C-alpha cells in the first residue's frame, strides 16, 4: 500500500483496532470510545476486510488477537503516537483561557500529601481547566497509560508501556508516625513490640518494613490495614499504634496536629517517586505545562 492508498483508510478504524487490542472486548471498547456495540462490530468487520484477517478470535468471554493482529499492533501503536504528537505540536496552549480536561493518575500518598499545593497553583494559572484524578499504583499505572485513560501519572513505578517516558521527582525516606506522649526516640525493640498500622491499597498485611526486619531476624505486629492515608492520624490518636509512612506524607499528617514523626530505628532504603507519561503526548503544549507544574510541586530538588 502506497501513501495514495492511505486515502481509503479511515483513521477511526485504527483507533477502534487499538482499543480492541487493549480491551479484548467489543463491549468494553464501545464504552471506552463512547460508541454503541453495533458501531464497534461494524468497524471490526471493516478492519477484517482491510487487513484480510480475522484479527480477533473469541475464546470464552475474551477476544484473543491473531498473530497478524499482534504484528499490526506493534507497528500501528507507535505510528498513532507519532500522528498524535504531530497534531499536538500544531496546537497552542494558553493556561489562562484553556478549558482542557487533564486526566492524571496519582498514588494515594501523593494525592493526600502533594496534590493540594499543586491544585492551588493550577487554579491560579488555569481556572478554566478540568482535572480528573485516577488512583494508581505500580500495577495500575501501565495499563492506564497504555490505554490513554491517563496522560501522566505519579507513583512508584516498575514496568511501563514501551512508549512511556519516566522521570524521578524525588527520593523519599520513611518516617515513623506516633501519637503517644512518651519522650525520646523509639528503640528497635519498642518498634517491634508496638502494634502497627499499614496503609495498603490491596489490603496486604506486610510491606517493605517487614522485608528489612526479616533480614535482621525481627518481626512486627500489624493490627490495622487501611486503604488510604487520609484520616490515619485520627486513627492513631489515643492509641499506642504506630505507622511508617513516606516523609512527605508524614509532613502533611503532622502539620494537622495530633501526631509526631521521627526516623525509624532501622536502616531503610529510600524510594524513588516517579512521574510517567505517554510518549504520544511528550510534546503536547498543555501536557508539557502540566508536567512542569507537577515537577515544581511534587519534586524535591534537595533529594535528587
Which cell is 192 given? 517491634
Tell whether the model's pLDDT for residue 304 goes beyond 60: no
CATH 1.10.10.10 spans which residues of the chain?
5-89
Q: Give the whole-number percent of the chain exceeding pLDDT 70.
A: 93
Taking the CA atoms of 155, 160, 166 and 168 in sequence, report the sign of the dihedral they define: positive
pLDDT the model gives residue 90: 53
Residue with cell 508536567: 291
Q: Which three cell numbers stand for residue 24?
A: 479484548
HEC profile of 143-203: HHHHHCCCCEEEECCCCCCCCEEEEEEEEECEEEEECCCCCCCCCHHHHHHCEEEEECCCC
Architecture of domain 5-89 in this structure: Orthogonal Bundle (1.10)
**pLDDT tier, 163 (very low <50, low <70, confident <90, very high otherwise):** confident
3-state secondary structure of 62: strand
Determine the pLDDT at residue 91. Answer: 61
Strand 164-172 with 174-178, pairing: unpaired
- Per-residue pLDDT of 76-93, as tens digits, reads 877 777 777 666 555 678
Quickly list DSSP for 15-45: HHHHHHHHH--HHHHHHHHT--HHHHHHHHH
pLDDT tens digit sequence for 101-158: 999 999 999 999 999 999 999 999 999 999 999 999 989 999 899 888 999 999 999 8
**CATH level 2 (architecture), domain 174-269:** 3-Layer(aba) Sandwich (3.40)
Per-residue pLDDT at 5:
60
Mean pLDDT taken over the chain: 89
Residue 56 CA to residue 63 CA, distance in Å, equals: 6
DSSP state letter for 277? E
Q: What confidence category does residue 291 fall into, taking pLDDT thresholds of 50, 70 and 90?
A: very high
Superfamily of domain 101-172+272-298: Periplasmic binding protein-like II (3.40.190.10)
Q: Can you give the pLDDT at residue 234?
A: 93
Alpha carbon of residue 47 to chain centroid: 32
For the CA atoms of the chain, what is the radius of gyration? 24
Q: What is the per-residue pLDDT for 10?
A: 79
How far is Cα 181 from Cα 252, in angstroms, rounded to an integer?
20
Q: What is the pLDDT of residues 39-71, one digit of tens each?
A: 899 999 999 998 899 999 988 778 899 999 999
The grid cell for 277 is 507519561
Judged against a pLDDT cut of 80, whether residue 301 lies above it is answered with: no
Instruction: Answer yes or no: is pLDDT of 97 > 90.
Output: yes
Give yes or no for residue 6 having a pLDDT over 90. Answer: no
The stretch 259-263 carries a mean pLDDT of 95
- Mean pLDDT in residue range 9-26: 86
The arithmetic mean of pLDDT across residues 158-173, rounded, is 88
Check residue 239 and give its pLDDT.
95
pTM of the predicted model as reported, rounded to 2 decimal places: 0.72
- CATH 3.40.190.10 in the chain is located at 101-172+272-298, 174-269
Amino acid at each position: 500500500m502506497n501513501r495514495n492508498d492511505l486515502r481509503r483508510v479511515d483513521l477511526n478504524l485504527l483507533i477502534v483496532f487499538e482499543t480492541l487490542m487493549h480491551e479484548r472486548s467489543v463491549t468494553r471498547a464501545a464504552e471506552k470510545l463512547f460508541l454503541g456495540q453495533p458501531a464497534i462490530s461494524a468497524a471490526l468487520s471493516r478492519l477484517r476486510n482491510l487487513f484480510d484477517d480475522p484479527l480477533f478470535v473469541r475464546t470464552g468471554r475474551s477476544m484473543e488477537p491473531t498473530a497478524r493482529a499482534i504484528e499490526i499492533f506493534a507497528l500501528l501503536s507507535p505510528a498513532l503516537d507519532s500522528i498524535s504528537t504531530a497534531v499536538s505540536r500544531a496546537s497552542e496552549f494558553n493556561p489562562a483561557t484553556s478549558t482542557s480536561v487533564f486526566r492524571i493518575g496519582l498514588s494515594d500518598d501523593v494525592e493526600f500529601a502533594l496534590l493540594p499545593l499543586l491544585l492551588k497553583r493550577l487554579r491560579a494559572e488555569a481556572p478554566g481547566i478540568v482535572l480528573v484524578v485516577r488512583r494508581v499504583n505500580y500495577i495500575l499505572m501501565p495499563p492506564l497509560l497504555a490505554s490513554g485513560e491517563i496522560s501522566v501519572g505519579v507513583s512508584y513505578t516498575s514496568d511501563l508501556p514501551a512508549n512511556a517516558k519516566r522521570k524521578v521527582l524525588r527520593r523519599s525516606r520513611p518516617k515513623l508516625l506516633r501519637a503517644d506522649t512518651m519522650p525520646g526516640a523509639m528503640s528497635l525493640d519498642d518498634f517491634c513490640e508496638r502494634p502497627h498500622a499499614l496503609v495498603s491499597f490491596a489490603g496486604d498485611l506486610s510491606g517493605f518494613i517487614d522485608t528489612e526486619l526479616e533480614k535482621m531476624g525481627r518481626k512486627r505486629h500489624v493490627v490495622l490495614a487501611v486503604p488510604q492515608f487520609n484520616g490515619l492520624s485520627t486513627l492513631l490518636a489515643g492509641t499506642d499504634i504506630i505507622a511508617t509512612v513516606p516523609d512527605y506524607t508524614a509532613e502533611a499528617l503532622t502539620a494537622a496536629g495530633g501526631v509526631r514523626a521521627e526516623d525509624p530505628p532501622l536502616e531503610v532504603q529510600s524510594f524513588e517517586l516517579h512521574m510517567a507519561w505517554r510518549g504520544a503526548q511528550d510534546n503536547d503544549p498543555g501536557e508539557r505545562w502540566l508536567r512542569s507544574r507537577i515537577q515544581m510541586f511534587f519534586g524535591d530538588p534537595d533529594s535528587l
